[in-house]
Amino acid sequence: MTTSEDNTAPPTPDSDAMLVQRTLAGEQRAFDLLVIKYQRRVERLIGRMVRDVDLVPDIAQETFVRAYRALAQFRGDAQFYTWLYRIAVNTAKKQLLELKRDPLVFQSQLQSGDDDETSSSERELNAQVADEETPDAVLASKEIAQAVNAALEALPEELRMAITLREMEGMSYEEIAQTLDCPIGTVRSRIFRAREAISNRIKPMLEHQSGKRW
C-alpha cells in the first residue's frame, strides 16, 4: 500500500475523465468500469421515474448505450455523472413516452439531484421509493443499514474519521489529508480498510437478500 505520498502532490486528473479517454481510445474495459461504477446510481434515478420496476434495467442499459454513442461529445466541462444523469433522464422520458406512461416523479423534483445526490429532496425520493418496495426488501434494506452503522461504530477512530469525512461530508482525499494532517496515501488506505471492514460485515447480506442482488 502506498503511504509515502505527500500533501503537496498535484491533483490527479478525474478518474472518470480518464476512463472516458480510454474508452474513446478503444479500451472496452474502461467503459465496463464506468458502467459498474454508475449502474446503481442510474438504476436508482430511473427507479424514481418509472412505476414499473421491470423497466428499470432496460432503460438503465439503454442509458449506457446512448452514453457510449455520445461519449465523444463529453468534453469534461461537467462531472461525468452529471452528463450521464441527463442522458438517463432523457432516455427514461423517451421510453415512457413511447410506452405512453406517466413518470412517477416530476422533472422539477429530479432537478435537485443533478448536482448532489445527497440532497434532502433525493432522500425524500428514496424514502418514497422505499415505501413502494415489498416488505421483505424494506426489511433487508434496514438490516443492511443497521449492519453498516454497527460496523462503522466498531472501526478504529482513524478509519471511522476517514470514511465519515469522505462519505458523509463529501470531502476529497486532499481535503481529508489536510483535515487529518496526514498524507493522501494514508487517507486512501484508511478509507479502503474502513470499507473492507464494513463490506466483510455486510457481504453475506448482499449476496442474496429476498432473491435480489444488492
Query: Nearest CA to 183 among 172, 170, 174, 196?
Result: 174
Candidate list 73, 77, 153, 213; residue touching other proteins; CB under 8 A: 213
CB of 108 to other proteins, least distance (A): 21
19 forms part of the interface with other proteins (CB under 8 A): yes
Stretch that binds other proteins, among 56-64, 70-78, 83-91, 107-115 (CB under 8 A): 56-64
Stretch that binds other proteins, among 30-38, 70-78, 88-96, 103-111 (CB under 8 A): 30-38
CB of 145 to other proteins, least distance (A): 5
| Residues between 144 and 203 that touch other proteins (CB under 8 A) | 144-145, 148-149, 152, 155-156, 158-159, 163-164, 166-168, 172-173, 180, 182-183, 185-186, 188-193, 195-200, 202-203
- Dihedral, CA of residue 183, residue 196, residue 45 and residue 123, to nearest 10: -80
10 Å CB burial of residue 145 (0-12, 13-18, 19+) is: exposed
* Dist. CA 171–CA 91, nearest whole Å: 31
- Residue 179 CB partners (closer than 8 Å, separation 6+): 165, 171
